[in-house]
Amino acid sequence: MTSLPTSPRVRSPLPAALARPGLVSFWDFQEPAGTPRIAQGPHAYALLERDGPVELIADGVFGPGSARFGDGPWLCAPRADCPALNLHGPAAQMTVVAWIKRDPTPPDLAWSCQAVAGMWNEHGRRQYCLFL
């Protein structure tokens, strides 16, 4: 299990993020590879690794670390396990925010689209997603 050093000189914006009105879930990605990523805030939903481990690296915004995604591994929360993220109705609104440090893209993938966060389903169900 990897743990990262903390620096008393770094002031985290985490308290302000957790104080946002209407917050559903907030993932800071401080957990080591091989463990679920548990959200903070009103709904502690778990993101589970798929297709391999998602590495923890020492380069964070909301703590000393962050998740590093390579080719293949990704995180998911089954739709049935996160009902507060299943927004619907004529007045449904939401904001998805992500801090991303993207590695340089090889020329042959320069226009590739990458899903960052969302509730996605390929079977005609309600969905939303933040793409790069």
Give tens-digit pLDDT for 9-64: 556 778 888 998 999 999 999 999 999 999 999 999 999 999 999 999 999 888 99
pLDDT at 126: 63
Written as six digits, the tokens of 34 are: 């091989």
Mean pLDDT of 73-98: 86
pLDDT at 119: 75
Torsion (CA) 91, 75, 131, 15 in degrees, nearest 10: 60
Written as six digits, the tokens of 16 are: 């302000």
Query: Model-level pTM?
Result: 0.79
pLDDT at 94: 83
Report the amino acid identity of residue 110. A
Q: In whole angstroms, what is the distance from residue 86 CA to residue 78 CA?
A: 11
Closest Cα to residue 55, out of 77, 29, 81, 79? 29
Q: In whole angstroms, what is the distance from residue 51 CA to residue 73 CA?
A: 5
Mean pLDDT of 70-94: 86
- Which pLDDT band, with edges at 50, 70 and 90, does 105 fall under? low
Lowest pLDDT segment from 65-69, 76-80, 101-105, 123-127: 123-127
Pairing assessment for the beta strands 66-68 and 55-57 based on DSSP bridges:
antiparallel
Query: What is the DSSP secondary-structure string of 63-108?
Result: SS-EEE--SS-EEE--GGG-GGG---STT----------PPPPPGG
